[in-house]
Homo-oligomer: A and B are copies of this chain.
Amino acid sequence: MTDPIQHIQSLLPPRNTRRDTGEAYAPANIALCKYWGKRDTRLKLPVTGSLSVSLGAHGTRMTLRRAEADALTLNGEAVAPDSRTFRRLFAFLDLIRDPAHRLAIESHNTIPIAAGLASSASAFACAVKALESLYAWNLPPQLRSILARLGSGSASRSVFEGFVEWHAGSSPDGMDSFAEPLAPVWPEFRIGILTVSEAPKPVGSTEAMERTVRTAPLYEAWPKQVEHDLPRIRRAVLDHDFITLGETAEHNALAMHATMIGSWPPVIYWLPETTAHLHSVHRLRAEGLPVFATLDAGPNLKLLYTAEHEADVLRNFPMLIQIDQNPTP
């Protein structure tokens, strides 16, 4: 069998080498049905499908310029060539760019820093789109998603706006594991971020994912959880059924954290305030306010609600950072 990465590379169009800059933008995304566990680490193939909503104007904007040597600035600050961020990004670009090309990259995150959202999904999705711009490509959307996936699994979803589904696929070469747009953003749908801690996480999310898969007997039932949740969330997005969406997304996120809590050594991202906020969300729901929580691999909460209840949610969570997930104009 051809090496799967070489196969992907063979699908790339010829590189137009007359341009010397490329520019692109890609949004961050928040998973409503989580990506948790890889079946192939190198190709970043997931154990299950997942479904997210892209965050409109919150993401990564990148400019690439042909240069004498590779260089990276992030929000205006130079990133050291021996840093993990630098090496990971250029190792990824090496999969796609002309081997003779060196690139100077300016990357800007437009995600509020206090929101503590992961930027790797938008960064890798953006890098693919910026190379497309540099080489004057117009890649098929599935290939664009597959390329982004090689950088970071969830980047496969960040190449699209609105609600996006990443199909798990079953092929060993991953050619059926790509994301597709499911539906445009639903204007009344709201996301707000409750930041509990901006401190570095005690366990990185890649390590947490790998430890869970390796040591949590409960993880064996995670595909069953997704089998339950993913079709419900997909249907709820298409029907604008907010309650089903909120309930299922919260159930899914708590189940993901449950698998981490059940790993060894346990990965407990929840801080005391995380627990307190979860109880507040449950109390408010019991009082009739339709608000739901989702959490990624960390202590911070993302609240889901609708425009109708925005004022009530903000009154109860004054520290909430509202995220406008409408697409960039």
Given contacts A224-B220, A273-B272, contact A264 B251 (CB under 8 A): yes
Question: Residues of B contacting A228 with CB < 8 Å?
Answer: 217
Determine how close the nearest CB of chain B comes to the CB of A245; give it in whole angstroms.
14
Question: Residues of B contacting A276 with CB < 8 Å?
Answer: 272
Quick check: B268 and A278 within 8 Å, CB to CB?
A: yes
In this assembly, does A319 line the interface, its C-beta being within 8 Å of a C-beta of chain B?
Answer: no
Quick check: A264 and B282 within 8 Å, CB to CB?
A: no
In this assembly, does A112 line the interface, its C-beta being within 8 Å of a C-beta of chain B?
Answer: no
A226: nearest chain-B partner, CB-CB: B217
In this assembly, does A247 line the interface, its C-beta being within 8 Å of a C-beta of chain B?
Answer: yes
Pick the contact of A268 from B259, B268, B271, B279 — CB < 8 Å? B279
Docked complex Cα distance between A225 and B262 (Å): 9
Pick the contact of A270 from B265, B266, B275 — CB < 8 Å? B275
A228: nearest chain-B partner, CB-CB: B217
Question: Residues of B contacting A251 with CB < 8 Å?
Answer: 262, 264, 266
A265: nearest chain-B partner, CB-CB: B282
Question: Residues of B contacting A224 with CB < 8 Å?
Answer: 217-218, 220
Quick check: B221 and A219 within 8 Å, CB to CB?
A: yes
In this assembly, does A145 line the interface, its C-beta being within 8 Å of a C-beta of chain B?
Answer: no
Docked complex Cα distance between A220 and B266 (Å): 20
Pick the contact of A222 from B218, B225, B250 — CB < 8 Å? B218
Copies per complex of this chain: 2
Quick check: A261 and B268 within 8 Å, CB to CB?
A: no
Pick the contact of A275 from B221, B227, B264, B275 — CB < 8 Å? B275
In this assembly, does A257 line the interface, its C-beta being within 8 Å of a C-beta of chain B?
Answer: yes
Quick check: B221 and A220 within 8 Å, CB to CB?
A: yes
Question: Residues of B contacting A255 with CB < 8 Å?
Answer: 216-218, 261-262
Interface string of A238-275 (1 = CB under 8 A from B): 00000000010011001101110110111010111111
Determine how close the nearest CB of chain B comes to the CB of A283; give it in whole angstroms.
10
Quick check: A261 and B264 within 8 Å, CB to CB?
A: no
Determine how close the nearest CB of chain B comes to the CB of A96; give it in whole angstroms.
38
Question: Residues of B contacting A250 with CB < 8 Å?
Answer: 266
Determine how close the nearest CB of chain B comes to the CB of A262; give it in whole angstroms.
4
Question: Residues of B contacting A259 with CB < 8 Å?
Answer: 218, 258, 262
A276: nearest chain-B partner, CB-CB: B272
Determine how close the nearest CB of chain B comes to the CB of A246; give it in whole angstroms.
12
Since A218-B255, A221-B221, A270-B275 are in contact, a sample of 19 more A-B pairs with Cβ atoms closer than 8 Å, ordered by chain A residue number, is A217-B221, A217-B228, A217-B255, A218-B218, A218-B224, A218-B259, A220-B220, A220-B224, A251-B266, A254-B261, A255-B262, A258-B258, A266-B278, A268-B282, A271-B275, A271-B279, A272-B272, A272-B273, A272-B275
Binding site for B on A (CB under 8 A): 216-222, 224-225, 227-228, 247, 250-251, 254-255, 257-259, 261-262, 264-266, 268, 270-276, 278-279, 282
Sample (16) of A-B pairs whose CB atoms are under 8 Å apart: A216-B255, A217-B224, A217-B225, A218-B222, A218-B262, A219-B221, A220-B224, A250-B266, A254-B262, A254-B266, A255-B261, A255-B262, A257-B261, A258-B261, A272-B273, A272-B276
